[in-house]
Homo-oligomer: A and B are copies of this chain.
Amino acid sequence: MGQSHISNNVRNLRFNHHEMTQQQLADQVGVTRQTIVAIEKGKYSPSLELAFRIARVFKLPLEDVFTYEGADSTNK
């Protein structure tokens, strides 16, 4: 799949709504800290499962954490 048009506010959620370190979040969702770093930095977007897990930590619907900035609905 092409370059992801997905943004997220994991970083803000981690700070503002919850006091939580990258490592803690990583532990809670069962990945390594590097994965959280990569997601926050926008290096790639998580798998669907991981996205669900992260959203659940913040007790938010997935679409409140991750946003798809849909490019084209009408295909080539």
Spell out A's residues near B (CB within 8 Å).
1-2, 4-6, 27-31, 45-53, 56-57, 61-63, 66, 68, 70, 73, 75-76
Contact = CB atoms under 8 A, between A and B. Distances in A.
Contacts of A6: 48-49, 52
Contacts of A45: 47-49
Given A1-B31, A63-B63, A73 B56 contact: yes
Contacts of A29: 75
A71 B27 CA distance: 15
A1 B52 contact: no
A53 B72 CA distance: 10
A33 B10 CA distance: 33
A23 B1 CA distance: 17
